[in-house]
Amino acid sequence: METHRRQFLKGTVASAMASTLVGAGVGSSKTWASDTSHTLQMPPLGKAEHCIVLWLGGGASQIDTWDPKRQSKDGLKDPGSSYASIPTAIPGAKVCEHLSRTAPLLDRAALLRTVHHDVINEHSAAVNRMHTGRPISGTVEYPALGSVVSHLKGPAGDAVPKYVLMGYPTPSRSPGFLGAAEGYLYLTETTSGPKGLIRPERISQKSYDRRRQLLDRLRAEATVENRPKLQQYDELLSQGFRLSGPEFMQVFDLDNEPADLRNSYGDEFGQRCLLARRLVERGVRFVEVTSNLNFVNGTGWDTHNDGHKKQHLLIQSLDAALSSLLLDLETHHLLDKTMVVVYSEFGRPGRYDSGGGRNHHSKAFSTVIAGGGLNTGQVIGETDDLAENPLSRPISVPDFFATIYQTLGIPQSTELDASSRPIPLTDGGRPLHELFT
């Protein structure tokens, strides 16, 4: 009986290990071209210190930006790219003509063309997937990428926040089980700083000082030991008062930058990217900048129907902001230690919908990773003739997140603590080794 028990346990463990390897993309029954490049050896840890995410909320079309194919003849019934393509600094790689300023800078970046997941028709679920790296759980509130990075790395400077968000303050960007201390500092304007750190004009300095004195007395009398939520609140108060000082608030004075530089960044999205550079320069660890200029085309990057007609204006906005950011970071000797990541919740198919726009598509879409001291100037993954399905090197969301963590020097063996329950850093993701060799 004991022999049978040992054989059963050995078989169970072997099956579990095989399932784990298949989930990580190793030994999968589905084969892809170029997957022979995968190895079990973990690449070296990266040395990047900061991360700037440019979030294209709504679902940017990969075939109209980073993965162009043959151009459509009519933009309606004939599938294909909506725009002409142009060469880039990556030999043999082309991008959309509206990315003309970024194209010659792509030797500083890598194009990841085969990122994929299984969420198609639900924006919020896809946004959550691409912010937490995991499917929505009914029992665990997983933290966002920015919260994980800020939790594990802390700020890179004094009197600065760890995680700054310029965009949509949705639950998908929250700290989840890591707690409020790992949440973001939310910005709505690029010039005045966070609303919560500024004394409202209707309150006099004298009144403000009295309120501070009262709050200080209440905090001194309160017992926060063994009361985690109250302790977190108290710590956030201390952080807020530190950040409201002139040292940090000076970062929002964009007029200190040369006018030519400010103008090169372009519109409001570009000005947010300029502020992102100033934030990481001061020591902010993680910044997310959202492109939510929906008024430009009525839909933002969710280009159904008529929203597609002015999509080129969004692409041009991205082009100005991204190209300026890369050069600006380089000028300030920050590009090698700052990774810039451009992505959205999913992509769009090469076929048009009945209204002349494009629907949602998540079987293959493009992301961009630049800087960070990585082996850039390459394309990873190839798609079919409509940029709808991977032909080689499919990149899972856990792989994508593992690559970001690895670049920031966070080991894949790291575990997060969810009420004494260990949670792995990713769901079996493996860093893209091509970027580390």
Q: Which of 34-43, 50-59, 69-78, 379-388 has the lowest mean pLDDT?
A: 34-43
Range 115-128 burial, b when 16+ CB lie within 10 A, else e:
bbbebeeeeebbbb
Three-class SS of residue 368?
strand
User: pLDDT tens for residues 166-207?
Assistant: 988 899 999 999 998 899 999 887 776 665 555 566 777 777
Residues 215-225, mean pLDDT to the nearest whole number: 69
Beta-carbon contacts of 248 under 8 Å, excluding residues fewer than 6 positions away, are: 159, 160, 193, 242, 282
Q: Which of 8-22, 107-121, 272-286 has the lowest mean pLDDT?
A: 8-22
Share of the chain above pLDDT 70, in %: 81
**Tokens 């990585």 — which residue?**
374
Q: Is 370 in contact with 108 (CB distance < 8 Å)?
A: yes
Beta-carbon contacts of 89 under 8 Å, excluding residues fewer than 6 positions away, are: 103, 104, 105, 106, 107, 377
Q: How far apart are CA 437 and CA 435, in angstroms?
A: 6
| DSSP 8-state symbol, 361 | B
User: pLDDT tens for residues 330-349?
Assistant: 999 999 999 999 999 999 99
Residues 1-7, mean pLDDT to the nearest whole number: 44
Choices 3.40.50.1970, 3.40.50.300, 3.40.720.10, 3.50.50.60: CATH for 48-198+244-436: 3.40.720.10
Three-class SS of residue 143?
coil
- What ranges do the domains of the chain cover? 48-198+244-436
Q: How far apart are the first and last CA of the chain?
A: 51
Residue 301 reports pLDDT greater than 70: yes
